[in-house]
Amino acid sequence: MTQNRAKIRTEGVNVHYGATHAIKDVTLDIPDKTVTAFIGPSGCGKSTFLRCINRMNDTIDVCRVTGIITIDGEDIYDRRIDPVQLRRKVGMVFQKPNPFPKSIYDNVAYGPKIHGLARNRAELDEIVEKALRRGAIWDEVKDRLSEPGTGLSGGQQQRLCIARAIATEPEILLMDEPCSALDPIATSQVEELIYELKNNYSVVIVTHSMQQAARVSQKTAFFHLGTMVEYGETDEIFTNPRDERTENYITGRIG
């Protein structure tokens, strides 16, 4: 496999929620045009760390992030960086599906509209359709685009949120358990999407499924109680983990 240059670098990142120390001194480089998986037991800080990468933690009052995170060599916590610009570049699919109380169409068109990606309605239609197709939900919703997105099933909402995130064409896509509510068919469609996205973007995915991590990712990081225990090539981690905790987790002894 070709080794790409680092897209995201983190150095000594610590996150505190008030008195809770949620992320402890995490340093890792995420390469461009790869899929990186974060795995680890529930509550170990995967979501928290993921949210640091597009500064979503800014919206939480009690949350404090220290350390250095750079994207393309630029410190994203620098005062000159506008988090709005950053998030336009670093898209995110949340752990819980959160469609807007708008129509399915408007949900997907929201990002392109506020960023002015379409010059006219026809272009917007095209962007929406493409995003919904890539999110593997087009066939299910093409006849009901004007119905509320909140009226979809949990799994459909999850794919709608994926479509919404990729409609703005981010350079980095952060996905927090994007397949947790999907059936095997939809899961494999989303995995195909992730695989395809990899050609142009960096994808970071949090997952509880070892098989999924093994199938879609090239790099894997294992988190445990707020520390990053092990990070390396996915094949390595799954076949030959160096740390005992990683091995125990992968083989199902802790978690």
Partner 1 sequence: MSPLWTPLFILALAIAGFFAARSRALSTAGGNPRLMHSLPRVYGMNALIWTAAPALLLLAALTLAQPMMQERQVMSALPDSLTASAGETSLAMAEICRIAGGIATAIENRSLSKDAALQSSDIGTLRDALTGAGIAVTPETSAEILNGAQDWYAYDRRAALLHAVLALGAAALGLVWALRRARKDVNARSTVERGILLLLMGAASVAILTTVGIVFSMLFEAYHFFQQYSWREFFFSTNWNPRFQGGSDLGMLPLLWGTLYISLIALIGAVPIGLFAAIYLSEYASRRMRSIAKPLIEVLAGVPTIVYGLFALITVGPILRDYFAAPMGLGNSASSVMTAGLVMGIMLIPFVSSLSDDIINAVPQSLRDGSYGLGSTQSETVRHVVLPAALPGIVGAILLAASRAIGETMIVVLGAGAAAKLSMNPFEAMTTVTVKIVSQLTGDTDFASPETLVAFALGLTLFVLTLILNVIALYVVRKYREQYE
Ligand X SMILES: Nc1ncnc2c1ncn2[C@@H]1O[C@H](COP(=O)(O)OP(=O)(O)OP(=O)(O)O)[C@@H](O)[C@H]1O
Q: How far is the CB of 3 from partner 1 (least distance, A)?
A: 29
Residue 22's binding partner out of Mg ion, ligand X, partner 1, none, with CB under 5 to 8 Å set by partner kind: ligand X
- Residues near ligand X (CB under 6 A) are 17, 20, 22, 40, 42-48, 60, 62, 95
CA-wise closest residue to 104 among 47, 173, 54, 161: 161
Q: How far is the CB of 94 from partner 1 (least distance, A)?
A: 6
Q: Is 227 in the site for partner 1 (CB under 8 A)?
A: no
Q: How far is the CB of 182 from ligand X (least distance, A)?
A: 16
**Residue 92 carries which side chain, given as an amino acid letter?**
M
User: Given the complex with Mg ion, which of 48 and 218 has the nearer CB atom?
Assistant: 48
User: Given the complex with ligand X, which of 207 and 234 has the nearer CB atom?
Assistant: 207
Beta bridge partners of 224: 227
Judged on CB neighbours under 10 Å (0-12, 13-18, 19+), 83 is middle
Q: Is 207 in the site for partner 1 (CB under 8 A)?
A: no
- Interface mask (CB under 8 A) for partner 1, residues 118-147, using x and -? ------------------------------
Helix (H) / strand (E) containing 229: strand 227-233
Judged on CB neighbours under 10 Å (0-12, 13-18, 19+), 60 is middle
User: Given the complex with partner 1, which of 157 and 234 has the nearer CB atom?
Assistant: 157
Q: How far is the CB of 163 from Mg ion (least distance, A)?
A: 21
3-state secondary structure of 105: helix
Q: Is 88 in the site for partner 1 (CB under 8 A)?
A: yes
How far, in Å, CA of 99 to CA of 159, rounded?
10
Q: Where are the alpha helices (DSSP H) in the chain?
A: 46-53, 83-89, 104-114, 121-134, 138-141, 154-166, 184-197, 210-216, 234-239, 244-250
Q: Is 64 in the site for partner 1 (CB under 8 A)?
A: no
- Residues near Mg ion (CB under 5 A) are 47, 95
DSSP 240: S
Please state the φ and ψ torsions of residue 168, each to the nearest 5 degrees.
Answer: -90, 5
Residue 178's binding partner out of ligand X, partner 1, Mg ion, none, with CB under 5 to 8 Å set by partner kind: none
Footprint of partner 1 (CB under 8 A):
54, 56, 59, 61, 83-89, 91-92, 94, 96, 98-103, 110-111, 114-115, 148, 150, 161, 164-165, 168
